[in-house]
Structure 1
Amino acid sequence: MSGSEDSDDNFMPEQSVDDERTSIRAELSSLSFEELQKLKEKIGAKVYKEALFGKNDKKKPDGPRIFKRENKNRPREMSSKKPVPMFDVPKIKKREVRDPRFDPLCGEFDKKQFSQNYNFLSDIRMKDIKKIRAELKQTTDPEQEKKLRRLLQRLNDQHKASKKKKEEDASAKREKTHVVQEFKDGRQPHFKNKSERRVEALVQQYEDLKKEGTGRIQRHLKRRQQKLKKRSHKAPTGVS
């Protein structure tokens, strides 16, 4: 009996508080909105809420909220209040384009030095010519033969142009040396004009062809006649 009486004593105050709060709510329900606002301003918002809803005994946690996963395979929940770190994009250095032809940092172009540095290309070109000639003897495909002949012709033209340029440079060097020597000897040097240089070049070309054989000379003369004939046909005729 004593145990039941103690439990009733503990239960009665809570029941009386609920009854009192119910009666307060009933009285407040009969008041107008304006009267409720005045009462709230008079007793304070905190007391007003406690009278209607009771005290909130729940306390906020002191430390930061810990987000836990119900399943370890789920992604971890992150707080929306924590700012997302900004991705640091590295600055790309602007590429500076330089033209070596007009850039003083690249130095001046030395034609003679350039030809000396890349003189090995002539040897490589001759090796390629020999290799293509060997492939021409073995190939039986007409299309492949046509490609190889076209490539061989281009390499031969490049080799001839390079050889001609070297000969012209050597001739100019000899002429310059001769002029300087005449100045030193106290004589008036003779400067060759374009026509004289052209005649000398033709004579030298004839001598080179003569060394290769008479057939080479005949083919060269025939080709030259064909070029002159084409030029004469293309030349405009006078209007009578």
Structure 2
Amino acid sequence: EQAKAAAKAAKQQEASFKRANKHRPKEMSSKRPVSRAREVVAPVRKEGKDPRFEPSRPGEKEAAARRYAFLYDSVMPSERAVLRTAMKAERNPQTKAALSLQLQRLDSRLQQERTRRQRSELDHTVKAKQKEAAAAGKAPFFLKKSDKRKLELVAKFEALQSSGKLDRFMEKRRKHNASKDHRHLPDGRNDA
């Protein structure tokens, strides 16, 4: 009952705010005394923006990726090698776990960069095809996200095939899908 009473009081207080126009601030009647526990509505502060850390042009990400490509090409792989050797030499399990976590983070960042590069390469090829089509006088076409995803999968498939890892990948996929299907099966016999 106390909860109901508190909710009712909150509703009444909400209803007591008046506005002549929806764009004006909320006003309360001056005839009602102000409670000791005042709820002051703080104005929404504008977030300050630092232009140094915001991309100023649409192509800024690509330019930054080109500028800092050396990090992913030489610096991070060498860091990875150092971490691996340090992890192998380490005896303390806690330090070893911390190094392992650091190595995982580095690996994931390198993997993200690889996928980003593949995607940008795919985008460049698609844009080149669009330019050729436009030059030939054809109507412009724009790929949907699903079509882009399909193209990415095709590229991944071809890369796996060329590296000879396709069979292992497909076997993993089959196992994954089989376990997914197995989850949807009933748990045994339902004897009632």
Category of TM-score, reference length = shorter chain: 0.5 to 0.7
Give the equivalent residue in structure 2 for 1:140.
91
Instruction: Return 164-173 or 108-117, whichever deviates more.
Output: 108-117
Shift of 1:155: 0.6
Number of aligned positions between the proteins: 135
CA contact (8 A) 1:132 1:152 kept: yes
The answer for unaligned runs of 5 or more in structure 1 is 1-97, 233-240
Give the equivalent residue in structure 1 for 2:121.
170
Name the amino acid aligned to 2:56. Answer: E
Query: Aligned partners of 2:88 and 2:52: how far apart in 1?
Result: 48
Name the amino acid aligned to 1:101. Answer: P
The answer for unaligned runs of 5 or more in structure 2 is 1-47, 185-192
Name the amino acid aligned to 2:108. Answer: D
Give every structure 1 segment of 4 or more consecutive aligned residues whose post-TM-superposition deviation is greater than 6 Å. none
CA contact (8 A) 1:209 1:216 kept: no
Q: 1:194 to 1:128 in 2, by over 3 A?
A: same
Select the residue among 183, 193, 206 that pairs with 2:144: 193
Shift of 1:184: 0.7
Q: 1:150 to 1:166 in 2, by over 3 A?
A: same
Shift of 1:214: 5.2
Name the amino acid aligned to 2:79. Answer: D
Shift of 1:101: 3.1
Shift of 1:199: 1.5
Query: Aligned partners of 1:169 and 1:148: how far apart in 2?
Result: 32
The TM-score with structure 2 as length reference comes to 0.56
Give the equivalent residue in structure 2 for 1:24.
none
CA contact (8 A) 2:122 2:152 kept: no
Return the index of the structure with the highest Cα Rg.
1
The residue correspondences of 1:15-26 to structure 2 (distance < 5 A) are none
Q: Which has the higher contact order (CA 8 A, sep 6+)?
A: 2
CA contact (8 A) 2:130 2:140 kept: yes
Cα-Cα RMSD: 3.6
Give the equivalent residue in structure 2 for 1:119.
69
SS in 1 for 2:51: coil
CA displacement 1:3-40 (0-9 Å, x = unmatched): xxxxxxxxxxxxxxxxxxxxxxxxxxxxxxxxxxxxxx
CA contact (8 A) 2:83 2:103 kept: yes
Query: Aligned partners of 1:141 and 1:222: how far apart in 2?
Result: 39
Name the amino acid aligned to 1:114. Answer: A
Query: Aligned partners of 1:178 and 1:191: how far apart in 2?
Result: 11
Give the equivalent residue in structure 2 for 1:29.
none
Query: Aligned partners of 1:215 and 1:153: how far apart in 2?
Result: 25
The TM-score with structure 1 as length reference comes to 0.46
Give the equivalent residue in structure 1 for 2:173.
221
Give the equivalent residue in structure 2 for 1:92.
none
Aligned sequence identity (%): 19
Alignment of 1:108 onto 2:56: yes
Query: Aligned partners of 2:119 and 2:156: how far apart in 1?
Result: 12
Q: 1:226 to 1:158 in 2, by over 3 A?
A: farther
CA contact (8 A) 2:157 2:166 kept: no
